[in-house]
Copies of this chain bind each other. A is one copy, B any other.
Amino acid sequence: MTRWNLPPDRIPSAWYNVLPRFETPMDPALHPGTRQPIGPDDLAPLFPMGLILQEVSPDPWIDIPGEVLDILRLWRPTPLVRATRLEAALGTPARIYFKDESVSPAGSHKPNTAVPQAFYNKQEGITRLTTETGAGQWGTALSFACAQFDLECLVYMVRTSFDSKPYRKVMMQAWGGQCVPSPVDDPSHPGSLGSAITDAVRDAVSRDDTHYALGSVLNHVLLHQTVIGLEAREQLEMAGERLPDVVIAPCGGGSNLGGVALPFYEDRSVRLLAVEPSSCPTLTEGRFEYDFGDTGEMTPLLPMYTLGHDFIPPTIHAGGLRYHGDAPIVSKLVKDGRMEAVAYPQSKVFDAALLFARTEGKVPAPEAAHGIRAAIDEALAAKETGEEKVILFNYCGHGHLDLQAYDDYLNGRLVD
């Protein structure tokens, strides 16, 4: 057997909340004006109370609403796959497993949180959501989710991605969403996730019928993504494994990483490994401090590893990893020594992507390929030592809408 499916009725019924399990409490988010800890009311112009309460919930488990489960079941549980053909190509004694989040409607893990975010907003009477998107994965995910709850959806897309990936916009439109390039007030600016967040937040606070939705970074987003790791635990058991030796995922804001890794937080023998691009090395070279989530200094100040909120990352192909900061939860794990981080230049990442495509058949998103790169290096290290290591990585998205990147790589146009 090389693939383990759970039936749709075995989808997790509750999210895993890491907050009450931390040995030391998280530092609070601070108000951008007063620099005092923010309260629920400060966030109410942006988010529904259902999500705000999840942001600071002390409950170890949080039930997933039935209406959310009904939609997640369109593609969840996702398969756990053992990459035996990749193992053979590497000649490694390691057993490499990946969780295939690419099977979702939008092609990534992003709908796992888009759906509950749309649900809680709908419940509170909101009729319109704004958001930002980098590579376009999150924008398509939210468009899909809004279509399920009859919400309007407006996506501010980082201009460099908007221009280079026109099909992401079309996909959003196919689900009824709208997409515009950001920054809206400077057509000559390439944009960044930070600037697109500013545009989306400004729009949301200006209208009573509108809220803002964030695809990563915040605690409730990582919470929603824990279905990935919860399913993976169960599937690894089906595969006859006790626990993985290492859990690997790419890290931009930290949502897919948190999703697969947090449910292994309490298993101290399990190494957790974040993978980021060398060109945006937040965890490996950033500083841990309070910083804004956006360039416009409109968001709360978050305790996180950051390169500075005015840092504009180079326009590498893994647009989803171009963020100046990291989720506070991920930052705390790294700061506390519970999680490691590694950075790769994109040519090494695409080497790994091609090997994966030619052995396992799947053409990965550049973001996902960062995780593959690290998994391969862990497997090669195991080959050196002869160790039967169990490696789990999150295959967070397919590359069907990223083929321009492969064209550049195959034709020597890729710059590290």
Could you tell me which A residues sit within 8 Å of B by CB distance? 1-3, 5, 7-9, 73-75, 85, 103-105, 107, 111, 144, 147, 166-167, 170-171, 173-176, 354, 357-358, 360-363, 398, 400-401, 403-404, 406-407, 410
Number of copies: 2
A175 to B354: give the CA distance in the assembly, Å.
7
Structural contact, B1 and A358, CB atoms closer than 8 A? no
Known: A105-B361, A147-B358, A358-B147. A171 touches B403 (CB 8 A): yes
Q: Do A1 and B7 touch (CB < 8 A)?
A: yes
Q: Closest residue of chain B to A105, judged by CB?
A: B361
Residues from chain B with a CB closer than 8 A to the CB of A73 are: 2-3
A144–B361 CB distance below 8 A:
yes
User: Which chain B residues border A85 with CB–CB below 8 Å?
Assistant: 74
A407 close to B170 (CB less than 8 A): yes
| Chain B positions within 8 Å of A363 at CB level | 105, 171, 174
CB-based contact A173/B400 at 8 Å = no
* Cβ contacts under 8 Å, A404 to chain B: 167, 170
CB-nearest residue of chain B relative to A6? Answer: B5
Specify the chain B residue showing the minimal Cβ separation from A400: B400
Known: A2-B73, A73-B3, A400-B400. A406 touches B361 (CB 8 A): no
Find the B residue at minimum CB distance from A360.
B74
Alpha-carbon gap, A73 to B84, bound state (A): 11
- Which of B8, B107, B360 is close to A400, meaning CB atoms less than 8 Å apart? B107
Known A-B contacts A170-B406, A175-B357, A176-B358; the reply to A5 vs B5 at CB < 8 A is yes
Bound Cα distance from A2 to B404, whole angstroms: 35
Residues of chain B contacted by A1 (CB below 8 angstroms) = 7-9
Evaluate contact between A74 and B361: CB separation under 8 angstroms. Answer: yes
Give the residue of B3, B144, B174, B354 whose beta carbon is less than 8 angstroms from that of A406. B174
Contacts of A111 in B (CB 8 A): 361
User: From residue A54, how far is it (CB to closest CB) to chain B in Å?
Assistant: 24
Q: How far is the CA of A400 from the CA of B111 in the complex (A)?
A: 17
Q: How far is the CA of A354 from the CA of B167 in the complex (A)?
A: 15
Q: Which residues of B contact A144 (CB under 8 A)?
A: 361
- Which of chain B's residues has its CB closest to A411's CB? B173
Q: Would you mind naming 19 contact pairs between A and B with Cβ atoms under 8 Å apart?
A: A1-B7, A2-B8, A2-B73, A3-B73, A74-B85, A74-B360, A74-B361, A75-B361, A105-B362, A111-B361, A144-B361, A167-B403, A170-B410, A171-B363, A173-B406, A174-B357, A174-B358, A174-B406, A401-B403
The distance from the CB of A29 to the nearest CB of chain B, in whole angstroms, is 33
Report B-chain residues with C-beta under 8 Å of the C-beta of A8: 1-3
A263 to B147, CA, bound (A): 37
For A2, list chain B residues within 8 Å (CB): 8, 73-74
Residues of B within 8 A of A398 (CB): 400
CA distance A167 to B170 in the complex (A): 15
CA distance A204 to B403 in the complex (A): 29
